[in-house]
Structure 1
Amino acid sequence: MTALLTHADCLTHVTPEGHPERVARLEHLLHALEGLELTRVTAPMASDDDLLRCHPQDYIDMIRSRVPAEGFDQLDGDTWLSPGSFNAAMRGVGAALKAVDMVMGGEVKNAFCATRPPGHHAETSTPMGFCLFGTAALAAKHALDVHNLDRVAVVDFDVHHGNGTQDLLWNEARALAITSHQSPLWPGTGEPKERGAHNNIMNVPLAPASDGAVMRKTYTSKVFPRLREYDPQLIIISAGFDAHQDDPLAQLEWTTDDFRWITRELCQIAAEHCDGRVVSTLEGGYDLQALAASGRAHVEELMEAAQ
């Protein structure tokens, strides 16, 4: 079975009118997943101790202290807090950690965490790009520390470079972080020469206006061989759907079927190397219809792989 982890708290992270990372994103995605035969799990709340695997206590305390009693607090040009934001972010991390526990414990074959805010831009002590805490990196560290794994791979196909995941896992010899992303594009990081302290970072820039055929060729020739060589014991996916041709924030030309393909291929590698163990967590995707369709295709492929 495939687990779907989410929580109503993730709908209480409110952003100012017109902000692309809005409540409607999760509403549309969850509506698209209605009727699918999933193991539906209420996401638990992460603890400070969980966050301390990647973020220092003073950073956690700063985010908590900035949450407003009403209205908004702006952390940077893109990143906002509302009264429900901290709990939403903690549910997002809690969902990913619970998903790791369920997959590693054999309760389900794989899992998708439908949560927000996203996480892959949050650096060690810096919130940015709509993100507060590094969900995917925290899930990887949890798998390594709690489940005593030696090799966890994070694959990030969001259109923006996962600078936060790279920062949080830069010195982690037990993790491989692979990110494909449009370049040039915000945040401006993710050059191939950025390889991590243990040659454990792989950045795969994609040119603006390149399509799914380019992505498939690049993944087949570069990403998948590296992933197979690494022989992961668990694959964590940062599932951003903003490389879709309809997304307003970037200029890649992927289709819904491209997200279906990349999910199927990653699940196949997981089947070959780690008994199918995959945990996926939602990152970007800002056209509501494209997000809903691509997210459903992603989950359908996870379900197919779990049969």
Structure 2
Amino acid sequence: METLYITHPACHLHEMGTWHPESPHRLDAINDQLLASGLESYLHPQQARSATRDDVLRVHTPEHLNYLHANLPQQGHFSVDPDTLMNPYTLDAAYHAAGAGLDAVDALLQEGERRQAFCAVRPPGHHATRDRAMGFCFFNNIAIAAAYALEKYALKRVLIIDFDVHHGNGTEDIFADDERVLMCSFFQHPFFPGSYQQPQPKNMVNIPVEAYCKADHVLERFETLCIPRIAAFQPELVFFSAGFDAHSEDDMGQLSLLEADYAALTRMVMQTCASSAHGRVISMLEGGYDLSSLGRSVVAHIRAMSGV
């Protein structure tokens, strides 16, 4: 069975300056590696729909949405913060990035023709809180998709795995103490966004790891702390907030994961959720800024996710 591969041309048009690491070249690098690996023939491509205002408002405040629209530039850039900028195409890209997750949910839960989906979209989303854009993120794509699945399909248990090098503070802000959602993540700490706090919400399993922590230690801690919680939770649908900037070649962080580690983590989660989620998993691109390691890691992740 082919894995759904969802993207949209609008995601190439959002850019924050030639100096910025979160660039359209990231999607090109992924596509190049998919072609080189031969994996493209196992993927079913689909253009993402645009999410609606109501879709976004499931997880964001009207004030947040209105602020972004009011400040969308007609030319040049508007700085939400020093690292997070809008150009004239940013919101079109953001609506399509969020829409990719909605398409994936429908494909897996309504149409039933697919079991896995990878959303190659940008801007990323996991730092966007209910009322704030930050950390390259405007809408929280994974949260919008999860909230849609919970509401439209009346799911009772949704799992979110975030393996970006940065803490997914926005996703935690949105789903903290929501018993329908279990979120498990590891991230470098102390590090941006500096949001890790104790005590953590009961439905969050956060694993802060120090800079230069070895990959086998990271995976061991994930297996020890997260896998028992996931097994007990029995999720009906799995989401990956798939950031690949914990790779050893990525200068954005100081962790040391390799492609094989992303594959091992993916298989670990898939095996744990096999009976409850029936293989239904949606992965949405977050970070990953070294172009070569990003593309290779996405290939490894999709292979492990789809069993190819």
d(CA) in 2 for partners of 1:122 and 1:178? 17
The Cα shift of 1:101 comes to 1.1
1:192, 1:205 within 8 Å by CA — same for their partners in 2? no
The Cα shift of 1:57 comes to 1.7
2:230, 2:273 within 8 Å by CA — same for their partners in 1? no
For 2:41, what is the secondary structure of its paired residue? coil
For 1:95, what is the secondary structure of its paired residue? helix
Matched, 1:133 2:136: no
Percent identity, aligned pairs only, is 37
Matched, 1:59 2:59: no
| Equivalent residue, structure 2, for 1:42 | 47
List alignment gaps of at least 5 residues for structure 1: none
User: Which stretch of the first structure deviates more once superposed, 278-287 or 264-273?
Assistant: 264-273
What code does the residue aligned with 2:231 have? R
1:21, 1:286 within 8 Å by CA — same for their partners in 2? yes
The Cα shift of 1:107 comes to 1.6
d(CA) in 1 for partners of 2:67 and 2:278? 40
Q: CA RMSD for the aligned pairs?
A: 1.2
* 1:219-244 Cα deviation digits (max 9, x unpaired): 11111111111111111110000000
For 2:307, what is the secondary structure of its paired residue? helix
* 1:202-258 Cα deviation digits (max 9, x unpaired): 211111101210122111111111111111111111000000001111100111111
For 1:237, what is the secondary structure of its paired residue? strand
The Cα shift of 1:171 comes to 4.1
d(CA) in 2 for partners of 1:149 and 1:164? 21
Matched, 1:174 2:180: yes
For 2:182, what is the secondary structure of its paired residue? strand
User: Which stretch of the first structure deviates more once superposed, 104-113 or 42-51?
Assistant: 104-113
d(CA) in 2 for partners of 1:147 and 1:31? 35
| Equivalent residue, structure 2, for 1:214 | 217
d(CA) in 2 for partners of 1:272 and 1:185? 36
2:242, 2:284 within 8 Å by CA — same for their partners in 1? yes
Instruction: Rate the CA distance shift 1:217–1:85 in 2: closer, same or farther, 3 A.
Output: same
| Equivalent residue, structure 1, for 2:249 | 246
d(CA) in 2 for partners of 1:302 and 1:261? 10
Match of 1:98 among 103, 123, 141: 103
Query: How many residues are treated as equivalent by the alignment?
Result: 302
The Cα shift of 1:303 comes to 2.2
d(CA) in 2 for partners of 1:89 and 1:30? 20
| Equivalent residue, structure 1, for 2:74 | 69
Query: What is the TM-score when the length of structure 1 is the normalising length?
Result: 0.96
What code does the residue aligned with 2:66 have? D
* 1:139-195 Cα deviation digits (max 9, x unpaired): 111111001000101110000000000001114221111121011111112245222
For 2:75, what is the secondary structure of its paired residue? coil
| Equivalent residue, structure 2, for 1:12 | 13
Query: What is the TM-score when the length of structure 2 is the normalising length?
Result: 0.95
Instruction: Rate the CA distance shift 1:282–1:148 in 2: closer, same or farther, 3 A.
Output: same
